[in-house]
Amino acid sequence: RAAAVTVATDRAAIQAALGHGDVLVRRAAAARVTDQGLLARAARDDADPLVRARAVAGLSDRSLLARIAQADKDRAVKAAARKRLDDLDLVK
């Protein structure tokens, strides 16, 4: 199932994968998705910290990243959000 996500390209398929019951499918989708709305939802709402961290890695919304860096319950997700903010600052 997770392998199927690597070939999914349309928004509906990726959205379905991000909502899948299997965490491995959600992790694969979070690593592949580029849609900022879907990434934001996964970064904020997914129960799995690795899904959230992978989603954070693709976000470009500095405000949301700052909130996640301060408020996420998982230390690794917070660190991923801080790293992404630093990366975005380097690109400016």
pLDDT tens digits along 20-31: 999 999 999 999
pLDDT digits (tens, 9 = 90+) for 7-18: 455 778 888 899
pLDDT digits (tens, 9 = 90+) for 49-65: 999 999 999 999 999 99
Return mean pLDDT, the chain: 90
Q: Which long-range contacts (CB under 8 A, 24 or more apart) does 70-78 make?
A: 74/49, 76/49, 76/50, 77/43, 77/49, 77/52, 77/53
pTM of the model: 0.86
Using pLDDT thresholds of 50, 70 and 90, give the confidence band for residue 92.
Answer: low
